[in-house]
A and B are shown apart, each in its own frame.
Chain A
């Protein structure tokens, strides 16, 4: 099971998702420590590291690092591909995603993550199905917008 996931660039946390209950203070401490550890690693190094009693799997896309902390028994490679699939989903949804998309549409990034991963486990691995769910939700949203503007608010 994935314990938590976070997305960051040099010192700035862009997205975090926790699948184990922790206090805010602990979360802050963990992320600070983890960001430092990961940033200190050189390119060519392997994408896994033992960290406390967890394993951290990370991957860098442009300037953004995607990190996943998993438990001892979990499969590192498949977690690496979870990260990749999430990036693909973002990419497909936003159309060649960039950091700004995540900053300004962070709620979408969270919705996509919820559709894909729930409680730290893969829920739906089909790209099509995840995006379909998000599009349906968007549709509902847009209808409401439309209705609102028709009523001339």
Chain B
């Protein structure tokens, strides 16, 4: 309160102290603000420049919303008024900038904006300096409105750059002409693409060249301030050159200049040079030029004393890496990793893993690299990294033998990291047979090797090893007895951990009971993984945040999988971020869509070998055991079960979406006339990848075949990404029916076969012809159909609000004529229609009696045929 009194004082000293107090101690949501605002208002109106400046500084320092509300409209006029003192203009410009940052909605744009741009032409360099910041911020928000600033900024910059160093008097800083202003102007230009006007463009290029030339001149002073100021301008110019990314000569010159800095004795310059080069590496024009400095950068990695500089060197190596130098860079990063700082190890591990995968020419190198990575920095190898190596080994036939051999050798080490045991267990479990021919790695040796690590491992790893053992039983019948002994031991069967115990019991039973054939089916080699964005990359992105990863975002992952796989970045959609599901480490369900072997087994035979197996388990708790994981399907809808989620929604309508998942959308449009119908089926590919070997056919049960003729026209075998495919299905109704035909869809997406089955909404009521009749006719016929078998009645509870209009619409949609005024009770609904089939026509009367109090309906149907009454009643009673 005292401060507010001081503020309102006429004495300068008191006023000054008042302002100081407020600026330093009052934060922006104090309740004194309204009092303070009043004092400020008086000072702004005082026309005393000192007072005005104090007031403006205070607004800029506090910058609260209340202040913005009070002054945002007043400050622009101070800024552009002709008679305002220069120093006040400067304060006003930056004050406005602050308000625009804190509450942009309150700063009105108006005619002052045009005049602000012309401040760049001001005589007073201080005003230009302050205004440049304001204009840059405004231009970032609405570039169009400030386009005129480009030419003014270039002109101003050109004058500064070409001026003799003494021309600008006090704005020259250690022989550098107006470095702050130059930096700000260059920054302003980075809000825009290169100027379109040729003259302007060449003038700017001249400026940039001059700045680059100056860097080569001998320094005018030995002071560090001179070189700092000069290089500040130079780096900002390089930033602009990179931003424009259009002048190859300038880019290469910039790169060479940075190359010189890489060996400069100033740590600061080395740091900044590495940082700038990182962005240069992503430009196609300068990528090659950056690569020439590889040795210097590697040297920096080894010798630099400052960890933050080494970090930049790692970033740059990552950015400059391509197929030609990947081996060298990865090797250097690996060797550096052995004594790298703990703070950057995890990130480095990810980077090495990504580079190794991205630029792998042969997979043996890739496998070696990742195993080395686990050996050197096992603790920092996250799950994603070792999941990934397994994915790749499984998808690449040619590397499997080598991988098995390598992990076998790596496991020989007396102490190896648990991650290595995991990879080893998984790979030997899948591909141990490939090296079993050698007596040094015979099945028993392999098993003993794995089992020697067993007791040192954590529970998830042990669980994985148990799975590897059961796979061994399948691969090598000769070690079955040994493994069964291990599984039978108390330490497994009575393990305190439920997961381990259950696995041991199930595997033991499985190995005892199942025949070799069944074992081979259940323990089949893993099918290839669907290709998707590398989980490691996703992790690194998450870690670094977008924008910090040069050169990577748009990169396709071409290591894994055959040609048709490689474009599948979209497939992340399929099972969203749960990267864990990629593999089957411990208790994660595996997406069933990617295990076609098991599923096809299910469709082929009428006897399901694995359901029998499942029944052996007394309590198959879902999700806990491996078998259940493989066989049950939790994460994606099982392709084999017929989807009929939306089926009942089509009883009273003909158009809509019948099925939708992450990949595919199926829409329908149907029309019926008498006993004929036609359905247009639209298949929409929701991904950006082509569906291959697309096929769709309609199947009916044997009974249905005699009642309904369905003919689906053939379709194109490919559906482009984002495209829609149409299929026509013709239908003829022979006699009344209850079942519905099933639409079977198959296609290959990302290498895996997708199967979808959808029940087609063809129901009996679709073949209705509405019949209008009088009240008298209706009751006459009603009485005629009086045989008990002809009437079906049901009473059911309303599932939707009981709205008369909605009900009317539904009955009409059902296909009958709605007869008004027939029933003595106006609340009741009465309808009549004829079902057309090829063989007969069935007349049909219906009556729906709502009871709003009880929220119940009574539905009565009378037709000449019992089966028709029943079916229609079932269909319609679901709708209300």
Q: Do A and B come from one complex?
A: yes
Q: How far is the CA of A44 from the CA of B305 in the complex (A)?
A: 9
Main secondary structure of the interface of B (DSSP, over half): helix
CB distance A84 to B225 under 8 Å?
yes
Chain B, range 216-270, C-beta contacts under 8 Å to A: 225, 228-229, 231-233, 235-236, 239, 267-268, 270
User: Which of A81, A118, A127 contacts B229 (CB under 8 A)?
Assistant: A81
Known: A48-B271, A81-B232. A123 touches B130 (CB 8 A): yes
B12 within 8 A of A: yes
CB of B228 within 8 A of CB of A80, answer yes
B271:A46 contact, CB within 8 angstroms: yes
> Is the C-beta of B178 less than 8 angstroms from some C-beta in chain A?
yes
> A85 on the interface (CB 8 Å rule)?
yes
Q: Is the CB of A121 within 8 A of B24?
A: no
Given contacts A81-B232, A133-B87, A140 and B267 within 8 Å (CB-CB): no
Report the Cα distance A81→B230, complex, angstroms.
Answer: 11
Whether, in the assembled complex, B61 has its beta carbon less than 8 Å from a beta carbon of chain A, the answer is yes
CB of B94 within 8 A of CB of A119, answer: yes
Query: Considering the chains assembled together, what is the distance between the CA atoms of A121 and B96 in angstroms?
Result: 12
B595 at the interface (CB under 8 A from A): no
Q: Is A77 an interface residue (CB 8 A)?
A: yes
| A124 in contact with B308 (CB, 8 Å) | no
Nearest opposing residue in chain A for B125, CB measure: A126
Asked if A33 lies at the interface with its beta carbon under 8 angstroms from chain B, I say no
* Given A77-B272, A122-B129, A126-B170: A46 touches B181 (CB 8 Å cut-off): no
* Interface contact A126-B126, CB-CB below 8 Å: yes
Q: Which residues of A contact B305 (CB under 8 A)?
A: 42, 44-45
Tell me the chain B residues, 11-52 only, with Cβ under 8 Å from chain A: 11-13, 16-17, 20, 23-24, 27-28, 50
B95 touches A48 (CB 8 A): no
* Interface residue from B12, B50, B94, B173 paired with A121 (Cβ < 8 Å): B94
Q: Does A50 contact B (CB under 8 A)?
A: yes
Q: Shortest distance in angstroms between B493's beta carbon and chain A's nearest beta carbon?
A: 52
Contact B16 A141 (CB under 8 A): yes
CB of A80 within 8 A of CB of B126, answer: no
A62 in contact (CB, < 8 A): no
Contact A144-B90, Cβ < 8 Å, known A21-B63, A81-B229: no
| Contact A129-B268, Cβ < 8 Å, known A78-B179, A118-B57, A123-B91 | no
From the candidates A1, A118, A127, A133, name the one contacting B170 in the complex (CB within 8 A). Answer: A127
B312 CB to closest chain A CB (Å) equals: 9
In the complex, the answer to whether A78 meets B232 with C-beta atoms within 8 Å is yes
Q: Are A125 and B94 interface neighbours, CB within 8 A? A: no
Q: Mark A2-35, 1 if CB is under 8 A from B, else 0.
A: 0000000000000000010101100000000000
B835 at the interface (CB under 8 A from A): no
Asked whether A81 and B94 contact (CB < 8 A) given A75-B232, A119-B63, A129-B170, the answer is no
**Residues of chain B with a CB closer than 8 A to A80's CB:** 228, 232, 268
B499 CB → nearest A CB, Å: 40
Chain A, residues 110-146, CB within 8 Å of chain B (1/0): the string is: 1100100011111111111100010011001100110
CB distance from A2 to the nearest CB of B (A): 11
Chain B residues 113-149 with CB under 8 Å of chain A are 125-126, 129-130, 133
Contacts of B232 in A (CB 8 A): 75-78, 80-81
Which chain A positions have C-beta within 8 A of B268? 46-48, 76-77, 80
Q: Which of B79-108 contact A (CB under 8 A)?
A: 87, 90-91, 94-95, 97-98, 101-102
Interface flag for A64 (CB, 8 Å): no
Q: Is the CB of A118 within 8 A of B95?
A: yes
Quick one: closest B residue to A88, CB to CB? B225
Q: Which residues of A contact B379 (CB under 8 A)?
A: none
Residues of chain B contacted by A44 (CB below 8 angstroms): 267, 305-306
CB-CB < 8 A to A75: which residues of B? 183, 187, 232, 235-236, 239
Name the residue on A nearest B168 (C-beta): A126
Report B-chain residues with C-beta under 8 Å of the C-beta of A47: 267-268
Number of A-B pairs, beta carbon distance below 8 Å: 156
Q: How far is the CA of A82 from the CA of B183 in the complex (A)?
A: 12
CA distance A19 to B57 in the complex (A): 12
CB of B28 within 8 A of CB of A21, answer: yes
What are the interface flags for A50-90 relative to B under an 8 Å C-beta threshold, 1 for contact and 0 otherwise? Answer: 10010000000000000000000101111011101100000
Q: Which of B13, B229, B267 has a CB less than 8 Å from the CB of A77?
A: B229
**Docked-complex contact A125 and B11, CB < 8 angstroms:** no
CB distance from B32 to the nearest CB of A (A): 16
Identify the closest chain A residue to B227 (Cβ).
Answer: A77
Asked whether A102 is an interface residue with its Cβ less than 8 Å from the other chain, the reply is: no
Residue of A1, A110, A123, A125 contacting most chain B CB atoms (<10 Å): A123
Closest to A57 in B: B268
Q: Does B461 contact A (CB under 8 A)?
A: no
Which residues on the B side are within 8 Å of A91 (C-beta)?
none
Q: Is B180 positioned at the interface, with any CB of A under 8 Å from its CB?
A: yes
On chain B, the residues within 8 Å of A77 by CB distance are 228-229, 231-232, 235, 268, 272
Tell whether B192 is near chain A: CB-to-CB under 8 Å.
no
Cα A68 to Cα B569 with chains together (Å): 42
Whether a CB of chain B sits under 8 angstroms from the CB of A99 is no
| Chain A residue at minimal CB-CB distance from B97 | A119
B53 at the interface (CB under 8 A from A): yes
A78–B620 Cα gap in the complex (Å)?
68
Separation in Å of the A135 CB from the closest CB of chain B?
A: 11
Decide: A45 and B94 in contact? CB cutoff 8 A. no
Q: How far is the CB of A42 from chain B (nearest CB, A)?
A: 8
Given contacts A81-B173, A141-B12, contact A49 B308 (CB under 8 A): yes
Chain A residue numbers with a CB within 8 Å of B61 are 114
- Contact for B53 among A24, A119, A133, CB less than 8 A: A133
Task: Report the separation of the CA atoms of residues A123 and B13 in the bound assembly, to the nearest whole angstrom.
Answer: 23
Asked, given contacts A77-B232, A107-B17, A119-B60, whether A48 binds B308 with beta carbons under 8 Å apart, the answer is yes
Name 16 interchain pairs, CB-CB below 8 A, sorted by A: A1-B133, A21-B102, A42-B305, A44-B306, A45-B267, A45-B306, A46-B309, A48-B308, A78-B183, A81-B179, A81-B180, A119-B95, A122-B180, A123-B91, A136-B50, A144-B12
10 interchain residue pairs of minimum CB distance? A119-B98, A77-B232, A78-B232, A121-B133, A118-B94, A126-B170, A46-B267, A140-B12, A45-B306, A46-B271
* Further 9 A-B residue pairs, CB within 8 A, beyond A44-B305, A110-B24: A44-B267, A46-B306, A77-B272, A80-B228, A84-B225, A107-B16, A110-B20, A122-B129, A125-B181
